Structure 1
Amino acid sequence: MFKWLRKHEYDSSLFLFENSSYDKSFLNQLIELGVKVYFNIPCFKRSDEGKPSRIKLNLDKSKEIFFIYARFEDFLIAKKIETVNKEYKFTHFCYMLHPEALNPGTSQIRKQVIKKMWENNYINIMDKECYNSFLNKNEISNRDDSLALFPIGIDIPEVCPVKEKNRSIFRILSILRFDFPFKAYIFGLIDTFSNLFIHYPNIRLTIIGWGEGKKEINDYISALPMKAQKMIELLGPIDYIELDKYILKSDLYVGIGTTVLEAIKNGIPAIPVRDFSYECLTSGFFYEMPYVIHEDGYYEIKQYLEDVLNMSSAEYKCLIENCYLKLVANYKLDSIMTRILNISNKTGITITDKQMKTIMLRRHLSELKRIVFRKENYSWVKQSYEENN
């Protein structure tokens, strides 16, 4: 997105909140592109009544400022920045990238603000799963799907980079943050790989990951038969700019999120999988379901992996091309960015400090409850999975 903006002569800025985690090599790339980075922007805290830093912008006043953010809390900070920079014209694009991102919970104030954001074209949504979740949780009227849905745009090569199927060594790749149970599919993928390896000794599995759950993954792999262990490569963290090298070495990608898109644009077929499951479940190849995994109709990934392993070279190339064509149809950056930059907010939305304080206090309480619930739920799901395996 930043490259596209630079190419089309837009000035870009990135706001990084205090204690933000980020990839340094990726950040350096942005700085080289001319992106202005604001570091250590204070987040909301209970001690300051939800008031962020008063950021005074020093930009060309003749230009409109376009805010793109993904969380409700980012909207509040953006509104504060707007409040102290009234000499600029602002447009907001709140990009809902997760089904729970704009969940109002039981807060009536938050629900009212989200409703105003929706009615004034502030909120735009990545996919159908997020869209349905948003409508259900906020109890508001829907908009035309073609106007509300904005798939993530990526820079896609003009020609499909088709590769030959590797018949000597077939490499499966998955890239993820070790955040369980959110991305616990990796346990199911490891099990499936171990079972398939008995019949397909030429397969290999590369896992690139980072996060607190790495020891758990190490321990899980260590419990496999020794021959299967040796065929699994566990790496990470890897610099962002190095990831393409590993993607290009692979023959099939399995995972969640934007890494699926990155694989396909590099000519690697992909199978999106379900989150919050210790089994590796899918609704099909990317070209069969490019936005999200179905709410129902999950299948174990084993059959899909075997289908690819048994494909002829011609069938494998056809799979790559089908994934690529679906990627172009739904995620081409030019068309997505043009749509985004043509968004127009209907009216301004005013948020008082008192409303912010109430919203953020509720947020901190719900965050505490969520942490407790996730820990308890994680233990239960893990125990249930282990008992059944």
Structure 2
Amino acid sequence: MKRTFIVNYPIMISIGGIEKYLYYLMKYMLNHGVRVIWMQNIRFQTGKVYDDVIKDPRLEIVKVNSNLLFWFKHEKLNLSKDEEIVIFSCTTMAKLKADTIVRSFPDLNIKSIYGIPDTKGDAYYLEAIFCNPLKFMVYKCMCTVFTEWENNNHLCFYARKQIDALENNYHVHISNRDIKLLKDVESLPLLNYDELEKRIKRCNFTIITIGRFDFPHKQYILGLIRAYGRLKEKYPQIRLDIVGDGPHRFKVIQEIEKLNPNIQKDIKLLGSISPEVLPACIKHAHLNISVAGGVSVGAINGIMSIPARNYCEGECEVYGYLPEYLDYSVSTSPGNLVDTYIEKAINMSDFEYKKMCIESYESVYNSHKVDPNYLFGFSKCTKRYLVPLRTLLFLVVIDYIKKTKYFFTIFLKDRISQGMMNLKNKKSRC
């Protein structure tokens, strides 16, 4: 039976853990005879870093209408009974939309799987954006929905802390936890000891951070810029390289512009970089401070790595060095101010620094499990379950309320801030 993989993740704009995983997965499947369909939101331009996959003629693109009046309107999907079909989603509402595809093909073998990539946020916990009594109503509804999804094997996770978060929030017991952790698509490279020997010297000490400019989720980036500014006078040899892009790029620029011009000049915004060339672009770095998948990217390239706090809206908080704090890459619990950890990395002996780089690498390498066909194997135990239409209708209404609330409380505020910054820059050029 022919395999078909539907990627229900309509926006591939900038670098991030989900995007990187899907990039390698789609690439692997296209090269191994799997039919791959990408549900693309036509409103957003795709990041060029993914061109070799997105522009591959073997990839089938089904356009999704971005008009907010339509909850989920897309071009026709051509599917048949002789296909083993897996549709993969990465947000709660996307999972509900994927299930409408399953509902519209009652005679086909379609398995809808939800890969949960985070520990908090209203994209995954729908009730988070609301206040009571609506919050309680949505929460009770989602408790039931997630229980059924778990009972029917629809859920998998990027990290263990995401399992803990879901269990704690909805009081749902996740069985066979290890089996439900997504597996990597590609084998990891061996540690490059020649590059490591160069890195040990730490002449120009470069701090790297890798992440999408998506705040407040990755707002530690703003705190890291401030920490760099505080330390630059004491350690003039330090540099800060920022890999990433996203909707809050203007906030990153605003934060940099608050610093003295002499401090600003050693900050580089490298933009989004293809996963294929990223290792070559960061090999000069000495300390990686990131969250989620960015932690592993630095560590596997032999860079001493520290997980930062997710959803950190004040100063940049961190937990400690790998390997001890590997599981904290998606943590939201309070950490410690980053400054001390940067200073320690600058001042430690060559022997200790080399040891920490190797341990960062080994912690990721040893926890790495490869199975590019994992989702099709996982789907063998997935049972057909669809949210009742009455529940679905309620959640569709909730989604419209959420979008309206977002528009008036976040989107307009960001647009006004960005407009003010553009006006300020325009005046300064005159």
TM-score tier after normalising by the smaller chain length: 0.7 to 0.9
Aligned match for 1:161, one of 177, 184, 192: 192
Range 171-180 or range 280-289, more displaced: 171-180
**Residue 154 of structure 1, CA deviation:** 5.1
Root-mean-square deviation (Å):
3.2
Show the counterpart of 1:38. 61
Secondary structure at the aligned position of 1:173 is classed as: strand
Taking structure 1 as reference, are residues 161 and 341 closer, same or farther at Cα in structure 2, changes over 3 Å only? Answer: farther
**Residue 37 of structure 1, CA deviation:** 3.0
Taking structure 1 as reference, are residues 286 and 341 closer, same or farther at Cα in structure 2, changes over 3 Å only? Answer: farther
Taking structure 1 as reference, are residues 242 and 147 closer, same or farther at Cα in structure 2, changes over 3 Å only? Answer: closer
For residues 299 and 252 of structure 1, the distance between their equivalents in structure 2, rounded to whole angstroms, comes to: 17
For residues 267 and 89 of structure 1, the distance between their equivalents in structure 2, rounded to whole angstroms, comes to: 43
For residues 189 and 268 of structure 2, the distance between their equivalents in structure 1, rounded to whole angstroms, comes to: 32
**Residue 202 of structure 1, CA deviation:** 1.6
**Residue 13 of structure 1, CA deviation:** 2.6
Task: Give yes or no for the alignment of 1:127 onto 2:150.
Answer: no
Range 369-378 or range 170-179, more displaced: 369-378
Show the counterpart of 1:318. 355
Secondary structure at the aligned position of 2:88 is classed as: strand
Task: Give yes or no for the alignment of 1:340 onto 2:375.
Answer: yes
Task: Give yes or no for the alignment of 1:118 onto 2:150.
Answer: yes
**Residue 304 of structure 1, CA deviation:** 1.8
Show the counterpart of 1:382. none
**Residue 110 of structure 1, CA deviation:** 4.3
Residues 21-66 of structure 1, C-alpha deviations (whole Å, 9 max, x = no match) = 531341333543x652324223695x45x4533733246x434112
Aligned match for 1:361, one of 384, 393, 397: 397
Show the counterpart of 1:73. 93
Taking structure 1 as reference, are residues 185 and 202 closer, same or farther at Cα in structure 2, changes over 3 Å only? Answer: same
- Point out which structure has higher relative CO (alpha carbons under 8 A, 6+ apart): 1
Show the counterpart of 2:258. 223
Secondary structure at the aligned position of 2:225 is classed as: helix
Report how many aligned residue pairs link the two structures.
371
Give aligned-pair identity as a percent: 20
Equivalent AA in structure 2 for residue 279 of structure 1:
E
Show the counterpart of 1:205. 240
Show the counterpart of 2:301. 266
Show the counterpart of 1:147. 179
Task: Give yes or no for the alignment of 1:290 onto 2:314.
Answer: no
Show the counterpart of 2:108. 88
Aligned match for 2:219, one of 161, 179, 184: 184
Q: Is the 8 A contact 1:14 1:36 kept in 2?
A: yes
- Normalised to the residue count of structure 1, the TM-score between the two structures is 0.82
Q: Is the 8 A contact 2:43 2:66 kept in 1?
A: no
Residues 215-255 of structure 1, C-alpha deviations (whole Å, 9 max, x = no match) = 43333323323432222223435566554442223222211
**Residue 199 of structure 1, CA deviation:** 2.8
Equivalent AA in structure 2 for residue 306 of structure 1:
E
Q: Is the 8 A contact 2:53 2:59 kept in 1?
A: no
Residues 230-283 of structure 1, C-alpha deviations (whole Å, 9 max, x = no match) = 222234355665544422232222112222222223332321101222211111
Range 73-82 or range 100-109, more displaced: 100-109
Task: Give yes or no for the alignment of 1:55 onto 2:76.
Answer: yes
For residues 161 and 63 of structure 1, the distance between their equivalents in structure 2, rounded to whole angstroms, comes to: 43
Equivalent AA in structure 2 for residue 173 of structure 1:
I
Structure 1 stretches lacking a partner, 5+ long: 379-389
Q: Is the 8 A contact 1:23 1:239 kept in 2?
A: no
Show the counterpart of 2:40. 16
Range 359-368 or range 14-23, more displaced: 14-23
**Residue 204 of structure 1, CA deviation:** 0.9
**Residue 96 of structure 1, CA deviation:** 0.4
Show the counterpart of 1:385. none
Equivalent AA in structure 1 for residue 92 of structure 2:
F
